[in-house]
């Protein structure tokens, strides 16, 4: 099983949206996918109808109990997170230990991280073979890239994903700047569309909400690219 963390210290850049959609697309491609919600906000768990503070969560997983649940989609399971995750301070190796019991059961694990560098985030990053950093092309997001990259242990493969690209002059300038500085940008980027928020509101992957939409195509291309990195 390959493990990919989706992380950016900056909030609202699309970590959960991309984790949900890439996870769904990878499962639709026939992979056995495990999602791990390491964000106390639990947005990924809510998306897949698995936010429930009374049921087993990542906290149980970290103490050695199996705590994955099926989602409505074939090949896509989730270890939920919830608000209680805010109170925990796992060791650096804890997430890796939790995931080690799933090595033979899944092809890929995607970890959705919180927009904070907590002990749980640090442990998720430690467990990851590679890290995806979603960004938006605005000045504050760009300022955050170096901070995010500094938090990732050296030697980990990092790929930056431009999300919610709006083709404005400023966005194009930022993109040119990032390319000229040699940041490890994914070739595929995901354009901005209000349909993404509508799909999230309905808790539906874009491929289910709007199969023929341009953004669904962007997400499919991005998934193929990430699969290429993960299984090379």
Catalog residues that contact Mg ion under the rule CB under 5 A. 15-16, 43
**Interacting partner of 6 out of ligand ATP, Mg ion, none (Cβ under 5 to 8 A depending on kind):** none
Question: Phi and psi of 117, rounded to 5°?
Answer: -95, 70
Q: Least separation, in Å, of the C-beta of 189 and Mg ion? A: 19
Residue closer to ligand ATP, measured from CB, 180 or 201: 201
Alpha-carbon Rg for the chain, nearest whole angstrom, is 16
Identify the bridge partners of residue 159 per DSSP, sorted by sequence position: 132
Q: Residue 99 and residue 97: Cα distance in Å, rounded? A: 5
Identify the bridge partners of residue 131 per DSSP, sorted by sequence position: 5, 158
**Interacting partner of 143 out of Mg ion, ligand ATP, none (Cβ under 5 to 8 A depending on kind):** none
CA 183 to chain centre: 19
For tokens 């300038």, name the residue.
173
- Pattern of binders to ligand ATP over 160-189, x per CB under 6 A? ---xx-------------------------
Contact set for ligand ATP, span 111-140 (CB under 6 A)? 115
Question: Which residues are near ligand ATP by CB under 6 A?
Answer: 11-17, 39, 41, 43, 115, 163-164, 190, 192-193, 196-197, 200
């Amino acid at each position: 099983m390959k493990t990919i963390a989706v992380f950016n210290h900056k909030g609202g850049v699309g970590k959960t949206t991309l984790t949900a959609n890439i996870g769904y697309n990878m499962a639709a491609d026939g992979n056995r996918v495990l999602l791990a919600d390491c964000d106390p906000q639990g947005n990924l768990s809510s998306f897949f109808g698995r936010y429930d503070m009374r049921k087993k969560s990542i906290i149980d997983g970290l103490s050695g109990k199996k705590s994955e649940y099926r989602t409505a989609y074939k090949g896509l399971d989730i270890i939920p997170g919830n608000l209680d995750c805010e109170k925990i301070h796992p060791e650096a190796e804890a997430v890796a230990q939790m995931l080690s019991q799933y090595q033979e059961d899944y092809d890929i694990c995607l970890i959705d991280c919180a927009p904070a560098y907590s002990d749980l985030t640090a442990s998720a990053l430690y467990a990851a073979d590679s890290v995806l950093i979603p960004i938006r092309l605005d000045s504050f997001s760009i300022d955050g890239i170096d901070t995010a990259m500094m938090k990732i242990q050296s030697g980990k493969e990092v790929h930056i994903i431009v999300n919610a690209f709006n083709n404005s002059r400023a966005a194009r300038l930022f993109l040119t700047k990032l390319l000229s500085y040699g940041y490890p940008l994914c070739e595929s980027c995901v354009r901005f569309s209000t349909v993404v928020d509508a799909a999230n509101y309905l808790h539906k992957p874009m491929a289910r909400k709007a199969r023929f939409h341009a953004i669904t195509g962007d997400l499919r291309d991005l998934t193929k690219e990430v699969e290429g990195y993960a299984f090379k």
